[in-house]
Amino acid sequence: MARGRVSRLSVRDVRFPTSLGGHGSDAMHTDPDYSAAYVVIETDAEDGLKGYGITFTLGKGTEVDWSRERRGASGDGGRSQCGVGPVGQAGGKEEHMLTGGYPAYTTSCAWLGYSDDTLKQAGPGLNRRTHVFHRFKVKVGADVQDDVRRCRLIRDMIGPEKTLMMDANQRWDVPEAVEWMSKLAEFKPLWIEEPTSPDDILGHAAISKALVPLGIGVATGEQCHNRVIFKQLLQANALQFLQIDSCRLGSVNENLSVLLMAKKFGIPVCPHAGGVGLCELVQHLIIFDYISVSASLDNRMCEYVDHLHEHFKYPVRIQEASYMPPMDAGYSTEMKEESVKKHQYPDGEVWKKLLAAQKN
């Protein structure tokens, strides 16, 4: 294969107005526009190959990553990474992936900005997806009484046998997290995700210990940017579910080191995948984890949200609430050029109309 030097680097600020429908809203981010600094790298090898990378953001701040990557500094995920590639055809675990896939759960059922009517109808998709999805996550953390009401509504809709998780997006301090979850324990959540600051290792450990009698685990990791933080979380018994993020951790190699540590400590990996392209990227990591590291699906699942996949050239495939293996080589990062042009900020067609309407 011809090798060459980088001859061209383009970085574009791509933003999707998800805040208009409340998609992606949580206790810390009430009106996010799911966005990305989108990088394309070309070389002088003249082989037609390009490298694609994204740094996922919530809209505000994308220009910072855009500026960093234009200067050659990497953001949280602005790296062009190679994928695991298509899964092989031989072996028991590979065959299971090809036929059954990797278990997924949905977060699209309960963004915090959704009204009750949206929860009951199109937003959560519970009425049309309950026969498929068996695992659901609800955003909590803004108001405890409203959380109780919303969790009761969702639990009644999905029934007692389905799995429910909760996500506070770092909203609480340690005592508040324990008190809050004691009031939500009646809804039998499998875990509380990001109950406090992602950097507070000992805080997570204290929450984890306090919630044991309630049967509630702690899940965290989507904001952890290196393997050292994960090492400390594991050593401190601070989590029962480990959540890597394919953009936050620097490179595939860093992700693989965390998968190996999780295997050593016997902690299931349940990746975060809620943003632009995150489902597309992380599918490679979960399949590699199952086939080459953990060899287990016990207590393992990967997050899935059902928006923005239409903007990717190789979108993730979900069948019967499971990620199906990608059959194309690469890391599934390439976006459709038409989508990039329409959603480029602030000059794309979508944003020209929205910004003009805001001025009026």
Q: Where are the domains of the chain?
A: 6-86+335-359, 92-324
pLDDT tier at 88 (50, 70, 90 boundaries)? very low
Average pLDDT over residues 122-129: 45
pLDDT attached to residue 76: 39
CB-CB contact of 118 with 139 (8 Å): no
HSE of 129, CA atoms in CB hemisphere, 13 A: 27
pLDDT given at position 4: 78
Q: Which of 139, 204, 284, 311 is catalytic?
A: 139
Query: Which amino acid is residue 314, in one-letter code?
Result: Y
pTM for the whole structure: 0.88
- Report the pLDDT averaged over residues 113-118: 77
CA 139/CA 106 separation, integer angstroms: 12
Question: What does pLDDT average to over the chain?
Answer: 86
Q: Give me the pLDDT at residue 63, please.
A: 65
- The single-letter code of the amino acid at 295 is A
124 pLDDT tier (thresholds 50, 70, 90)? very low
Categorize the per-residue pLDDT at 24 as very low, low, confident or very high, splitting at 50, 70 and 90: low
**Distance from C-alpha of 343 to C-alpha of 355, rounded to nearest angstrom:** 12
CA distance 99 to 288: 16
Tell me the CATH number for domain 6-86+335-359. 3.30.390
Angular region, 321: left φ>0, alpha ψ -120 to 50, beta rest: left
Active site annotation includes 139? yes
Domain 92-324 grouped into CATH 3.20.20.120:
yes
User: Does residue 272 carry a catalytic annotation?
Assistant: yes
Question: First-to-last CA distance in the chain?
Answer: 55
Q: What is the b/e burial string over 178-200, where b = at least 16 CB atoms within 10 angstroms of the residue's CB? A: bebbeebeebebbbbbbbbbbeb
Q: Does the pLDDT value for residue 231 go beyond 60? A: yes
Mean pLDDT of 342-347: 94
CA atoms of 64 and 67, how far apart (whole Å): 5
More confident residue, 37 or 263: 263
Q: In the prediction, which pLDDT does 346 show?
A: 92
Count how many residues are written for the chain.
360
The 10s digit of each residue's pLDDT in 70-79 is: 555 443 333 3
Give mean pLDDT, residues 139-153: 93
Helices (H) and strands (E) in the chain, counts: 12, 12
The Cα 31–Cα 70 span in angstroms is: 27
Tell me, what's the pLDDT at 90? 36
The answer to whether the 6-86+335-359 and 92-324 domains have the same CATH topology is no
Which residues touch 230 (CB under 8 Å, ≥6 apart)? Answer: 221, 224, 242, 244, 258, 261, 262
Options 204, 272, 284, 343, the catalytic residue: 272
